[in-house]
């Protein structure tokens, strides 16, 4: 039986999956392991990875390892290239950076870049795996235009045309939430409890405010607490609504695609965060569907594996 290790190695976390390679090239998930992200283990990348996969190596030997995410960036282990858009899945698979480490053949999957019509550049590493996985879910995904939303630390809005990544735009929604929650005057009592009504209030405030009101609007997290419209426990959810509302509003106003009531947005990410984006899109009468991120991740890795074998 053939086994393989695939690793989604981001800035904060390493998620490794031991998979069985089926006769059709698809991956069957066998086991998972977790370790430190790129920013937390630099420069001991080799040590961190080998320690993480040691039980699997002892049981199955020197398996091939596929790496995706920030581990292939300028702050990672080995820098893989950015492929310019438009880019097809096969091109991504054929552009992996390969090297050997303690008997394991390692393939680092490249990132993707695009230049928008305002001459600004955008880049992604790791999210392309979920995009490739989504393309594998159904043949119809490789025909026509589709808009994907990948929420997270750096949310990606990705335009797909006929199976190719045409362009994408990044919003620092998750990172802003973390910074404002932990390093500003806005949140005095951080909490993991989620208040749906406060979230909706924050999203509504942003969606209905005048353009350019973002920096002014954020202070309402503080002022609404001072005047009793928000409790300290509700403030985190309200802030999340403000930021996701701003993210969605920018996507609606982006001229690179037409996001309206006839559009269906596919959301791929953490279940709770994906539902938050779906709820805000619904507030704007835009339909969406949520795809399970682990499934699309493994499908994406398997599509790279299969393309490399051709």
- Spatial separation of the C-alpha atoms in residues 25 and 5, rounded to whole Å: 14
Confidence of residue 309 (pLDDT cuts 50, 70, 90): confident
Taking only the tens place, the pLDDT of each residue in 93-136 is: 999 999 999 999 999 999 999 999 889 999 999 999 999 999 99
- Spatial separation of the C-alpha atoms in residues 238 and 178, rounded to whole Å: 14
Least confident of 33-47, 158-172, 257-271: 257-271
Taking only the tens place, the pLDDT of each residue in 276-289 is: 999 999 999 999 99
- Spatial separation of the C-alpha atoms in residues 290 and 149, rounded to whole Å: 9
Reduced to 3 states (helix: H, G, I; strand: E, B; else coil), residue 206 is: helix
What does pTM read for this prediction?
Answer: 0.94
Q: Is 140 exposed, middle or buried (0-12, 13-18, 19+ CB in 10 A)?
A: exposed
More confident residue, 277 or 309: 277
Taking only the tens place, the pLDDT of each residue in 69-100 is: 999 999 999 999 999 999 999 999 999 999 99
Nearest alpha-carbon partner for 127 in 303, 296, 309: 296
């Amino acid at each position: 039986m053939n086994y393989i290790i695939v690793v989604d190695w981001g800035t904060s976390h390493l998620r490794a999956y031991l998979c069985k390679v089926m006769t059709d090239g698809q991956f069957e998930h066998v086991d998972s392991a977790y370790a430190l992200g790129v920013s937390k283990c630099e420069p001991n990348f080799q040590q961190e990875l080998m320690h993480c996969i040691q039980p699997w190596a002892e049981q199955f030997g020197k398996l091939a390892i596929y790496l995706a995410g920030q581990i292939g960036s300028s702050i990672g282990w080995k820098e893989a290239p950015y492929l310019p858009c438009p880019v097809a899945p096969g091109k991504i698979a054929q552009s992996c950076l390969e090297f050997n480490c303690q008997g394991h053949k390692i393939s680092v999957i490249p990132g993707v870049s695009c230049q928008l019509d305002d001459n600004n550049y955008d880049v992604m590493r790791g999210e392309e795996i979920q995009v490739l996985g989504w393309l594998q879910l159904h043949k119809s995904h490789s025909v026509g235009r589709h808009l994907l939303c990948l929420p997270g630390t750096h949310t990606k809005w990705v335009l797909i045309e006929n199976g190719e990544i045409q362009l994408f735009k990044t919003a620092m929604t998750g990172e802003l939430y973390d910074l404002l929650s932990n390093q500003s005057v806005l949140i005095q009592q951080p909490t993991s409890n989620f208040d749906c009504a406060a979230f909706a209030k924050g999203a509504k405030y942003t969606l209905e405010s005048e353009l350019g009101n973002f920096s002014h609007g954020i202070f309402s997290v503080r002022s609404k607490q001072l005047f009793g419209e928000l409790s300290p426990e509700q403030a985190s959810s309200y802030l999340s609504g403000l930021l996701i509302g701003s993210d969605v509003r920018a996507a609606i106003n982006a001229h690179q695609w037409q996001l309206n009531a006839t559009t269906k947005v596919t959301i791929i990410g953490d279940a709770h965060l994906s539902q938050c984006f779906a709820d805000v899109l619904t507030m704007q009468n835009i339909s969406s569907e949520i795809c399970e991120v682990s499934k699309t991740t493994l499908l994406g890795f398997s599509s790279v594996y299969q393309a490399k074998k051709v």
